[in-house]
């Protein structure tokens, strides 16, 4: 952000690690409460049809797609987590640190299920419990919320041109108006200096004739 010093790598890494740990802990705690207190595959209304708790064990992706290839999702989650950790070592941006920390926590939440829940490593079923029938038929969990919002945030930061080092794309691009571009092109054709207002290192005017040689 303008006017703010970029983060040190150690500080950015700490933000990523702390947020990831918080999200992972919150996700696993909610899943623990779900498995201990909710009946399997029975809706429990919270706010009528707006919000329900519906405990299911999902072997696949959204809508239980890919239920027969659970191990593929385990590998995919592990790869995503590895990429985020790798990128975290080069961060100098607070926003990127926050976004990647939350995203990493969500990924680790579901990856933990894949690795350690029944029916066993690496085919574990993900515990889902949040249902909003009025909006979509999918049932999701806390980790899914952070994964989706994290991916949307990543897309927004890319569109806004914010780099991992805390600078923006426009800080690295020379921006000129159409008039400036046209004047520069005409000056180049005429063989004159397109920036006459820029002083030369020796202090002479750009239009001043070169000093005559004394013959030595």
Active site residues: 128, 144
If DSSP states are collapsed to H, E and C, what string results for 48-116? Answer: CCCCEEEEEEECCCHHHCCHHHHHHHHHHHHHHHHHHHHHHCCCCCHHHHHHHHHHHHHHHHHHHHHHH
191-196: long-range pairs with CB below 8 Å, 24+: none
From 126, 109, 127, 134, select the one nearest 46 (Cα to Cα).
Answer: 134
Read off the tokens for 20: 């990831």
Can you say whether residue 16 is alpha, beta or left, with left for phi > 0 and alpha for psi between -120 and 50 degrees?
alpha
């Amino acid at each position: 952000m303008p006017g703010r010093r970029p983060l040190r790598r150690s500080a950015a890494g700490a933000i990523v690690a702390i947020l990831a740990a918080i999200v992972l802990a919150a996700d696993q705690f909610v899943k623990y409460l779900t498995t201990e207190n909710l009946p399997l595959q029975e809706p429990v209304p919270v706010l009528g049809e707006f919000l329900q708790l519906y405990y299911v064990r999902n072997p696949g992706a959204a809508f239980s797609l890919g239920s027969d290839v659970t191990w593929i999702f385990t590998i995919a989650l592990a790869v995503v987590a590895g990429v985020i950790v790798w990128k975290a070592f080069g961060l100098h941006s607070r926003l990127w640190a926050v976004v990647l920390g939350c995203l990493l926590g969500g990924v680790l939440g579901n990856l933990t299920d894949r690795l350690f829940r029944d029916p066993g490593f690496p085919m574990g079923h993900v515990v889902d419990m949040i249902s909003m029938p009025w909006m979509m038929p999918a049932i999701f969990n806390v980790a899914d919320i952070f994964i989706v919002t994290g991916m949307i945030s990543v897309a927004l930061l890319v569109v806004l041109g914010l780099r991992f080092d805390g600078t923006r794309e426009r800080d690295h691009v020379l921006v000129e108006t159409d008039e400036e571009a046209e004047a520069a092109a005409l000056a180049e054709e005429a063989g004159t200096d397109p920036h006459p207002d820029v002083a030369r290192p020796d202090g002479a005017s750009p239009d001043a004739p070169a000093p005559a040689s004394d013959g030595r």
